Structure 1
Amino acid sequence: MTPFKILYAEDDETLAFLTKDNLEQHGYEVTHCCDGNLCLETFKKGGFDICIFDIMLPKMDGFELATEVRKRNADIPIIFLSAKTLKEDRIKGLRLGADDYLVKPFSIEELLLKIEIFLKRSQKNKALEKPLYSVGKYAFDPANFIVFNDDEKISLTQRESELLKLFLDNQNVVLKREAILKSLWGDDDYFMGRSLDVFISRLRKIVANEKGITIENLHGIGFRFKCE
């Protein structure tokens, strides 16, 4: 199993060494940074599961660092470790989006427990996220009715989104026209059929330049979303 990756910012070399060593002995992969700027640049490279930040960091303090991290990732757990004991500092840290605030000196057992709790919560939330689909050069987000890539975002109607998801869940399978209509509308009358043709025409335009992707019309039967 791949170890969870921790991004750890602390300028006290002795404390950083002891904390990093303890965390690694418990199976975590720890990347340590001694100042805020370096930590932010390291975070931008991605791949971390949780952040642990001291507040009194050189070049960029922990509060500013957490603010920048939150701009880029709203979900990654952040734990502050600080010698600052004022209630105002704790409240400020939590308002910036931190998940917890431990006052130094802290016990490694408490830190390990916090890490375990927040990683479990984070992984559970990820499991609940609705997946994106791959459609050639595009990603498809069925929850938000969009097809997108780095250069383009195409908004779909709810029915178009439901139809595309139905096709992607049944790639290379012949779907009877009546089954599609009943799945989307609960009916298969003439007017719904005409609407289906319009939606399929729109989806065909989106995938028109995607190599290996076609929406086949099987006359008198239905459609097949082919992905080679």
Structure 2
Amino acid sequence: MRFADRSDAGRVLARALADRTWTDPLVLGLARGGVPVAVEVASALGGELGVAVARKIGATGHPEYGVGAVTADGAPIFDEDALRLLRLTADDLAETCAAERQEARRRLARYRDGPVRLEGRDVLVVDDGLATGVTARAALREARGQRPGRLVLAVPVGAADAVRALAEDADLVVCPHARADFRAVGRFYERFDQVTDDQVVALLGGQGSR
């Protein structure tokens, strides 16, 4: 199973969500790659399109290996098993965490003009795939603090163990293709180009500041 691109994945995901009843839905694409997916979901559900930003916290000396994540304002979260394995503490990663929080704030300032109301609404956090789930968990926890009526994580494909784990942070997790053989999100896409800031702003309808 492979999607043609993120828009194709979004349409598949939208079909998996279409048979439910939604209350004032807000669809938050997890930047950057989740935004093209979220566009299709918001269109199909008649919901408002928005953006969420969570930044991976990489291990010291191995920035590609995510051991945590942080949002613009929420508390950082860490994979405690990964920290123990690498003999790291949260204090060891404080500088990296601060830098990633600053980048999250920069992106939010670029993508949107101000805060979006979540309270009482069905809020769907959408990404292009779920690997470890650490950035999705950070985004969900920040959203939970704004008292949504129902909090949903929706992804077209993901690692089966991560899908199960994220049920602790969302009221509902929707993943049409939960895979035990999951290795990387990109292998499930024929086209998986990096999404740029300019593309995110364009997809959001020019809501971000230029």
TM-score (norm 2): 0.34
Q: More helix per residue: 1 or 2?
A: 1
Larger Rg: 1
TM-score (norm 1): 0.32
